[in-house]
Amino acid sequence: MKPFVKLLFGSIFVFMLIMTVRTCLQVSLWSALPSFAANSWAMATLYDGYFGFLTFSSGLAWRERWPGAKIMWFVLIMAGGNVAMLLYVLLQLFGLRPDKLASALFRQEAA
């Protein structure tokens, strides 16, 4: 199961990274902002995303012991969104001992 989860999250990470870079090269965030802010669905999606980032960050804060890591990941997630969250999960997955199941990620002492 662990190889499947690594492949799944790794694929999503690569796709999101490529799409983000591609989009940034086509149109800047700042020039797209006025039309984005005028769209109610776009704003609802933005709020949904950031509340999801806060939810994930609270779980991460419970799991991480070092305050510096908690702060660093919070900033990365608020700035990088799902790409940062996927990076965190992938680092945790690849950091698991071979004898540990992927479900160990949901416990505070996963490694």
Q: Looking at the predicted structure, is the pLDDT value of residue 111 above 70?
A: no
Give yes or no for residue 11 having a pLDDT over 80.
yes
Tokens at residue 54, please? 């806060």
pLDDT band at 108 (very low <50, low <70, confident <90, very high): low
Residue 100 or residue 106, greater confidence: 100
Q: For 46-101, what is each residue's pLDDT tens digit?
A: 999 999 999 999 999 988 999 999 999 999 999 999 999 999 999 999 988 888 88
Spatial distance between the Cα atoms of 11 and 86, rounded to a whole number of angstroms? 10
Counting Cβ atoms within 10 Å, is residue 85 exposed (0-12), middle (13-18) or buried (19+)?
buried
What pTM, to 2 d.p., does this model score? 0.84
pLDDT digits (tens, 9 = 90+) for 23-39: 999 999 899 999 999 99
- Cβ of 21: how many Cβ atoms within 10 Å? 10
Burial code (b: 16+ CB inside 10 Å, e: under 16) for 56-77 equals bbeebeebbeeeeebeebbebb
Q: Where along the chain do its domains lie?
A: 2-106
